Amino acid sequence: EIVMTQSPATLSVSPGERATLSCRASQNIDNNLAWYQQKPGQAPRVLIYGTSTRATGIPARFSGSGSGTEFTLTISSLQSEDLAVYYCQYYNNWPPRVTFGPGTKVDIK
């Protein structure tokens, strides 16, 4: 069973600064990784899939990178509306199973 971990648990960033969030898989997952943003009281929203492809309507300040077991979500210039918890997600093709990381909470400093 593949385990996803995320670091840090909480990240405090000033508006306009860069935020770098990490996600690690316990085994090689190729590029089958997605990132979600969940704002308080809302459902999650997909930001990135396939490690680096932005979903429809997602601002360019969000970018994803990585491969194998190490992945990164970067917010190039943090905006106040980016206050949220960010989850990475892996999909195992067989047997089909979805696994989420524990999340990184981004606070506005």
Partner 1 sequence: QVQLQQWGAGLLKPSETLSLTCGVSNESFIGYYYSWVRQSPGKGLEWIGEINHSGNTNHNPSLKSRVSLSVDRSKNQVSLRLRFVTAADTAVYYCARGRIFISYFYMDVWGKGTTVTVS
Chain residues binding partner 1 by CB under 8 A are 31-32, 34, 36, 38, 43-46, 49-51, 53, 55-56, 87, 89, 91, 93, 95-103
Q: Kindly state the smallest distance separating residue 70's Cβ from partner 1, in Å.
A: 17
Tell me the DSSP string of 2-56: --EEEE-SEEEE-TTS-EEEEEEESS--TT-EEEEEE-TTS--EEEEETTTEEPT
Q: Kindly state the smallest distance separating residue 15's Cβ from partner 1, in Å.
A: 26
Q: Of the two residues 28 and 56, which places its CB atom closer to partner 1 in the complex? A: 56
Q: Of the two residues 75 and 86, which places its CB atom closer to partner 1 in the complex? A: 86
